Chain A
Amino acid sequence: MRSEDVLSGPVGTILFSGDDPKGLMREAAFQARLSIRSQLEETSERCLAAFVVLGDDLEQWQLQMQRVRTRYPDLPLVVLIERKTGIDDAALFATAEKYRVQYWVDPQARELVPLFEKLVRLHDEFRSREKSRKELGLRNRQLRDLQSNLEKIVTERTSYLADAERELHSRTQTTRELVRFIKELSQAETIEEILQLVSYEMRSFHEVRPPVLAVASQEFGARLYFQQARGAGGRPATRAVEKNWGSRIVRQMWSSRSVIRTNDVDDQSYLAQEFGRPVARTVAFPLGNRGHTQVPVLIFEHGFDGEKVERFTRFWTVRLEPLSMAIERVFLNREMFSSSRMWETIFDGIADPIAVLTEGHEPIRLNQAFSENTGRRCYEIFAGRSEPCEGCQMQKVLVDGEAAEWQIRRGDRVFRVKSYPIRLSKLTSINHYTDISKGLELKGHAIQGEKMAAIGLMAGNIAHELNNPLTGLRSLAQVLSVDSRFPESVRNDLREIESAAERSSRIIRDLMEFSSAGDHVRALVSINDVVESSLNMIKTALHEHAVNADLLPASEGMIRVDPHLLQHVVFNIVNNASQAMRGAGEIRIRTRLAGEWVETEIADTGPGIPDEILGRIFEPFFTTKAAGQGTGLGLSMSRWIIENFGGTIAALNQKDSNGNKTGAMFIIRLPRARAE
């Protein structure tokens, strides 16, 4: 027995019932450090066993046993039996089969002590086992809890991951949709297309009307775009309404407020006024203007409640910037197009031909006066040539990088080309063509005029000097040729001399008329009077050719001329025509009004004028007639006279449908005069 055990008091209690001979039970209990209770009563103390000492009364004994059992169903029960009792063992054991029965022949305390100690040991073991069991149970509970916790964590984590995956998926989807929207926006070229995209984009939202886009700039004024009811083909038609920049509602719409406006009273009254009906809820997104004057505002009319409005606003907030950029791009394109159109109009509006050309004479840009850009080279388009124009200095301009100027021909026109090198994407020159034919012609005319004046002066001077001896020569030859004293052969010679002298006189007369052409007095006359009076003279002169006249009414076609000189011109041309026509032929004279001009056409049915001399027939002393038949002054004088009257004279060939010449035509144009 350990000292500490003694000190620590009883380790348990035993119940005792029956007769304790000589206090053996108490002694043994003491030795085994047990407390003992003599009644089988309930106690809170730790009971190790119940002992019943069996007396002779079996009935009493059974009663006791049942009481113990009832009160301590799990408590070990030991039945001590004295040998001396006459109880039938078989009956005893049958009654108490569940109990430990120990014969107590000669009751000694020492017999009980080991029993008690064994009880304590057993109890300790039991307690120990019980403790272990309890600990095990605790552990098991802890393990279960742990497992449960772990399961919970795993479930939570799994759920979280699933949520995250769902969110990620949702975000990816949102991003993908946004990317698609931006991509589609980038391909939109008109506001109408953008509005259609916006309409499509908000297809998942119901209870919202098609968008209204308000755009304004100081320059272009204000415009309101909105989609109307679906038109033909189910596509919503977009309508644009022009607004006066100064109107009140427009100023409200484009105020400086750049925040998203929900149920803004101004927006609502604006739309209500525009559509002529009450407007309930609105949300307006100003799209920002990046420093330009365009200020787009996107307005939706909807029937959402609070939460949906937020979702709708969030939905559009991320789309505002690309939308703003797309709208700005459309307007920039429009401005660019408008600006480009302006330059094109200016370029095409220049009356002189202008061409921007590459080194290889290929056109980059041509204005309308030059030609349409047919993709061919400049000389092919402009001058109808297969190689660069004569005198072209474009290569030099491009190599030297300095402007140059030259002249080229295009048919019968002469152009001055001013060429300037410019650097576009490649080496380029800009060529400016000026038609200088008129100037050259005028210059030619001036030279011609000076020549004519000099000829006139000279003619006047020499005419008199020649006239005198010629008069004598002709007259004397005439006189002698009729003198019968001379043989016939001599008189024939004299007649030849007279004829030669006569021709010489005619030349001198022409020269003298020519020299005095500018000094005549002009009068207001009708072209018809002049032509008709010429006709009398013409008809006498022409024997074999018919003359047909198609004249204006007598009162029309007034001109201010010297009628004698004009008659001279008409006669001269008709005479030429008559000489050109061999055999039968017709001369047609026609007068008519052509704007500010009075035209006289004189046409014949002769062989026409050879092309190679067409340009020279008005030159002085140019003639195709045989020597003595013409002075070469007739047409030059005619032109001199007509130009002195402020008119023009031109010669051309008439042609049939096959291009064959059917006669010559002279056209005299004189300024139409008004009676003062």
Chain B
Amino acid sequence: MKCLVIDDEPLVRRSLLRVLQVRGHQGFEAEDGPKGLAVWRELQPDLVFVDILMPGMSGPDVVSQVLPSLTIRPFVVLMSAYSGEDSERLAADCGANYFLAKPFEDLFAVVDEAIERSGAAKSANVKGDG
């Protein structure tokens, strides 16, 4: 599975990529919104982790801009250090599938859950398509 991580915090990107790699997935990264947007369009990943608060362009902005132009709809996980109702609603509004609050208690569990959810979503989509 092709996975993309868009986060301005290099340690977050690297740790996520590591776990994805350990789990046998292909991981890509972008350090801000515009770059993330470009990589997303080019690679058409299956699973995308996007941080909400980034300098220049916010996570929800990236998601809401990219989604309409995609042929394959990926599973989008929005992440934020501000947990709570607002962040979850923000995620839902922009078209993201799931919200993850930082900090992560157990990164492996977090990634596994995201992969599982994306897989379930994909099969649902496939079923829907078929």
Contacts and interface: CB of A to CB of B under 8 A. Distances in A.
Residue of B13, B22, B82, B102 contacting most chain A CB atoms (<10 Å)? B102
Contacts of B107: 474-475, 478-479
B32 interface: no
Nearest to B106: A478
A217 B87 CA distance: 86
A447 to B, nearest CB: 29
B66 interface: no
A470 interface: yes
Interface in A463-499: 463-464, 467-476, 478-480, 482-483
Contact of B104 (A464, A474, A482, A512): A474
A505 interface: yes
B18 A480 contact: yes
A451 to B, nearest CB: 23
Nearest to B19: A479
A472 B10 contact: yes
Given A471-B12, A472-B13, A474-B103, A464 B18 contact: no
Contact of A464 (B7, B10, B13, B81): B81
Contact of B12 (A468, A502, A508): A468
**Interface of A: prevailing SS:** helix
Given A467-B81, A475-B107, A512-B82, 19 more contacts: A463-B81, A468-B12, A468-B51, A468-B81, A468-B102, A469-B11, A470-B103, A472-B9, A474-B103, A475-B104, A476-B15, A476-B18, A479-B15, A479-B18, A479-B108, A480-B18, A483-B18, A502-B103, A505-B103
Contacts of A502: 103
B13 to A, nearest CB: 7
B105 to A, nearest CB: 8
A501 to B, nearest CB: 8
Interface string B1-26: 00000011111111110110010000
B33 to A, nearest CB: 15
Give the size range of B's interface with the partner.
20 to 34
B106 A472 contact: no
A472 B14 contact: yes
A440 B7 CA distance: 50
Contacts of A474: 103-104, 107
Contacts of A512: 82
Contacts of B102: 467-468, 471
A44 B8 CA distance: 196
Nearest to B14: A476
Interface string A259-288: 000000000000000000000000000000
Which 5 A-B pairs have CB atoms at the shortest separation, nearest pair first? A472-B11, A467-B81, A475-B15, A472-B12, A476-B15
Interface string B73-107: 00000000110000000000000000000111011
B53 interface: yes
B59 to A, nearest CB: 12
Nearest to B102: A471
B83 to A, nearest CB: 8
Given A478-B106, A479-B107, A505-B103, A472 B51 contact: no
B22 A479 contact: yes
6 contacts: A463-B81, A464-B81, A468-B51, A471-B81, A476-B15, A476-B18
A467 B103 contact: yes
A478 B81 contact: no
A501 B82 CA distance: 18
B15 A472 contact: yes
A482 B107 CA distance: 12
Contacts of B16: 475
